[in-house]
Structure 1
Amino acid sequence: MENSREVYDVVVVGAGIEGSATAYHLAKSGKHVLLVDQFPLPHSRGSSHGQSRITRKAYGPQDFYTRMMDEAYRLTEVLQAECGEQLFIKCGTLVFGRYDDPFTVGTEDCLRRFNVPFEKFGSAEQRRRYPGMEFPKDFTFVLDKTGGVLRADKMLQAFQKQFVRYGGVLVDGEPMKELLPGEIVTVRTPRRMFRGRSVVLALGPWAANFLPTIGVDIPLQPTRTLVCYWRERGCSRTFDVSRFPTIITENANESHHIYGLPVVEYPGLVKICLHTGPDVDPDRRDAVDSRWVEDRMRAIIAQNFPGLDPTPAVTETCIYTMTPDHDPVLDHHPAWKNIVIAAGFSGHGFKLSPVVGKVLSQLATGQTPEYDMSHFRLARFHKHKL
């Protein structure tokens, strides 16, 4: 049993990828840190489970993300060396759309500005290289050669294991019921209280319900996404990770944003998903109807991926927590500077997690991050209720 009088330097609430990365950086810097999660670990109820995520450097006109991703790549290499496991598979990321598609054009511009190795080609070359998919002849294809796959579950476990190795305390199965601000912040669970000089709230989809209880109203909307795996036709291995990149397009079938990953999880199954879904309460995640997501994806697969069976072989679920501008909040509480909020990663937080964890650790210990944090401020929503 924890000593209720013990005071940690930092208490991190939420052991998803952002909270675990934050706790890792704090413990590695010598801080006395507690990482606490509401569910027994590992679990699949939030946003950080699953075996794979896309990573890439280009973010269109959002240069601040590309600058962060440069460090995220370096920090991932450090974590790989520490844990002794491969966390990143370099297979490239293929972004594509019509010739005037802002996302594709912005990606190419970004890659040029930052001198990231890439190739650009048309539909004939695409069909020669990647014959398992077909898109209109006026599409342009931009291959970020530095992109690829993060082995997500291994990366999450690596952050947690290294956190403990550096002296951190990990407690799971204890949901936060109340947060008591003050010079020493108290986190109350059903069993006990934890105290810290500062706290980082990395609550995932539960942030939407909890943050208003401490006077912060961010327009957060949890969304239930459907993760679909499609079986390759025949035995061509067209979609094997050694031959096929990760893919992203916002032009598929009436401008629906889809993303995909090669065969890296289930044998012979390719992960291709819609980047949206129905709004959801994370505590009632199975109460929503997401059949329309699967129907839309079936149509896209049938039309654009002749190398795949248009009936999903496996479906799983995940939760995004969306903000109106799709950028997260990384900021201090407006009244209590020793409470740091991390919320609203909008489905693209995993790849950023190594550097986001570093930034949050700096905010929690009174340091100033070297990045322009104006993109992540609470104040941009003008909805504080103190």
Structure 2
Amino acid sequence: MIYDVIIVGAGSMGMATGYYLAKAGKNVLMIDAFNPPHEEGSHHGETRIIRFAYGEGAGYVPFVKRAGELWRELESISNESLFLQTGVVNVGEPSHSFIKNVTASAELYDLALEQYSANTAMKKWPGLFVPENFVACFEPTAGVLRVEACIRAYKKLAMEAGATLHRNEKVQSIQAGSIVKVQTENNIYEAKQLIVTAGAWITELLQTMDIAIPVTPTRKTFAWFEADEQLYGEDVFPAYCFELADSTYYGFPSIDGAGLKLGRHDGGVAISPNNLLRPFNEQDSIDLVNFIQQFMPQHGALKYGKTCKYSMTPDEDFIIDFLPEHPNIIVAAGFSGHGFKFSSAVGEVLTELTLNGESKQDLSLFRLNRFTK
């Protein structure tokens, strides 16, 4: 059988794409090395932040606004609770580029954003400490996505729409051509078009085609802390991003009584995705404990930590593009630790590119040729 489209990697982006393509009537095969949702990629850990006043730059705002619309649509279709409108507070010095981008993008796109002084923020959220020279930019319409539930919802809809999913089947190589060949441990599959959304494995897969892209798999850690629900529960405390002079932290209120969740966005260690991740350890906890003691001083004890993989590009912007000289192969990769919130819209974009050769979204920020200029 020659499929219309093969999708290599059925995680956040791939599963959404599989649904939208199957819904459009395409004969779709999704192949994943594991059984999604799983803990081997970038999509586990229960929750991800979705924010619209975007600190990484205003160019992302139309894309993330569309993602928000599609998440709400998915909630309605699947009858699942996927989005929690906790609000998101961005904290840092007003001169920090991230904070300036948050305020500028809110103004440019008329997004709801409330700016508080340090004292006002601490009165609003008594569990929070904000240095006097910081501001707190609160986005009330933003919040939290339930990660695994989102992927399960797209998975169910994709299968119902006729997509095929091969689980626990690792792709070993890709052969380009008018008909693309995808070789796994057990089979060779053929398709007219190919989409590669393989996360940390994207680099090694494209190397089988003698193509190199600048994506670096990186080990990251995050942890949960005991929390007073009256101070830090999801009904009273927002998700948060802290931009410090030398580091960036993000986290979540206590959702379903799980405790405060905290991670460090910057840093990390480059890894091979095929090696077992070193488990969360005492050394990993040091930065997180130091941060939470300063900024959420009424927290409780560290409960446990986990590891995950980021797939980093040099500029931390995404890659969404056709491969040069291969007009029937699209890659979506390098989401650099801030991609999950976009995955609904990435699925729509990859579907548009597959069907029409172009997308309604402006993808100029994500082109591969930026690395060769």
- TM-score with structure 1 length normalisation? 0.92
Aligned to 2:294: 303
Aligned mate of 1:123, from 118, 125, 129: 118
Aligned mate of 2:214, from 215, 219, 229: 219
Contact 1:248 1:260 in 2 (8 A): yes
User: Counterparts in 2 of 1:19-34, with a 5 A limit?
Assistant: 19-34=14-29
For structure 1, the 5+ residue unaligned runs are: 1-5
- The one-letter code of the counterpart of 1:178 is S
Q: Distance in 2 between matches of 1:216 and 1:372?
A: 25
- Deviation of 1:132 after TM superposition, in Å, equals 1.2
The CA deviation string for residues 233-290 of structure 1, in whole angstroms up to 9 with x for no partner, is xx45211111111100111xx531000111115x251101101322111111424887
Q: Do structure 1's residue 370 and structure 2's residue 360 form an aligned pair?
A: yes
Q: Distance in 2 between matches of 1:354 and 1:379?
A: 25
Aligned to 2:144: 149
Aligned mate of 2:323, from 321, 324, 333: 333
Q: Distance in 2 between matches of 1:156 and 1:61?
A: 25
Q: Distance in 2 between matches of 1:248 and 1:87?
A: 21
Contact 2:234 2:255 in 1 (8 A): yes
Q: Do structure 1's residue 241 and structure 2's residue 234 form an aligned pair?
A: yes
Contact 1:41 1:173 in 2 (8 A): no
Q: Identity of aligned pairs, percent?
A: 32
Helix, strand or coil for the counterpart of 1:205?
helix
- The one-letter code of the counterpart of 2:6 is V
Contact 1:224 1:319 in 2 (8 A): yes
Comparing 40-49 with 345-354, which one deviates more in the overlay?
A: 40-49
Q: Do structure 1's residue 188 and structure 2's residue 183 form an aligned pair?
A: yes
Q: Do structure 1's residue 356 and structure 2's residue 346 form an aligned pair?
A: yes
- The one-letter code of the counterpart of 1:242 is D
- The one-letter code of the counterpart of 1:325 is D
Aligned to 1:93: 88
Call closer, same or farther: CA 1:290–1:215 in 2, change over 3 Å.
Answer: farther
Q: Distance in 1 between matches of 2:229 and 2:345?
A: 38
User: Counterparts in 2 of 1:248-259, with a 5 A limit?
Assistant: 248-251=241-244, 254-259=245-250
Q: Distance in 1 between matches of 2:285 and 2:270?
A: 15
Q: Do structure 1's residue 166 and structure 2's residue 161 form an aligned pair?
A: yes
- The one-letter code of the counterpart of 1:250 is E
Aligned to 1:281: 272
Call closer, same or farther: CA 1:85–1:288 in 2, change over 3 Å.
Answer: closer
What value does the CA root-mean-square deviation take over the aligned residues?
1.7
- The one-letter code of the counterpart of 1:261 is F
Q: Distance in 2 between matches of 1:73 and 1:305?
A: 29
Q: Distance in 1 between matches of 2:56 and 2:88?
A: 17
- Deviation of 1:293 after TM superposition, in Å, equals 3.6
The CA deviation string for residues 88-125 of structure 1, in whole angstroms up to 9 with x for no partner, is 11111101111322211220121111111121111111
Q: Distance in 1 between matches of 2:364 and 2:299?
A: 43
Corresponding residue pairs, total: 372
Q: Do structure 1's residue 382 and structure 2's residue 372 form an aligned pair?
A: yes
- The one-letter code of the counterpart of 1:245 is P
Q: Do structure 1's residue 72 and structure 2's residue 63 form an aligned pair?
A: no
Aligned to 1:3: none
Call closer, same or farther: CA 1:285–1:237 in 2, change over 3 Å.
Answer: farther
- The one-letter code of the counterpart of 1:168 is A
Q: Distance in 1 between matches of 2:307 and 2:321?
A: 29
Aligned to 1:137: 132
Comparing 283-292 with 319-328, which one deviates more in the overlay?
A: 283-292
User: Counterparts in 2 of 1:192-207, with a 5 A limit?
Assistant: 192-207=187-202
- Deviation of 1:355 after TM superposition, in Å, equals 0.8
Q: Distance in 2 between matches of 1:112 and 1:263?
A: 30
- The one-letter code of the counterpart of 1:88 is F
- Deviation of 1:323 after TM superposition, in Å, equals 0.2
Call closer, same or farther: CA 1:146–1:40 in 2, change over 3 Å.
Answer: same
Aligned to 1:209: 204
Q: Distance in 2 between matches of 1:285 and 1:250?
A: 31
Q: Distance in 1 between matches of 2:35 and 2:156?
A: 15
Q: Distance in 2 between matches of 1:236 and 1:199?
A: 47
Call closer, same or farther: CA 1:268–1:376 in 2, change over 3 Å.
Answer: closer
Q: Do structure 1's residue 84 and structure 2's residue 74 form an aligned pair?
A: no
The CA deviation string for residues 205-241 of structure 1, in whole angstroms up to 9 with x for no partner, is 0112222221321111111111111112xx4521111
Q: Distance in 2 between matches of 1:34 and 1:245?
A: 39
Q: Do structure 1's residue 62 and structure 2's residue 51 form an aligned pair?
A: no
Q: Distance in 2 between matches of 1:135 and 1:255?
A: 16
Comparing 57-66 with 11-20, which one deviates more in the overlay?
A: 57-66
- The one-letter code of the counterpart of 1:160 is K
For structure 2, the 5+ residue unaligned runs are: none
Q: Distance in 2 between matches of 1:268 and 1:160?
A: 25
Q: Distance in 2 between matches of 1:165 and 1:151?
A: 21
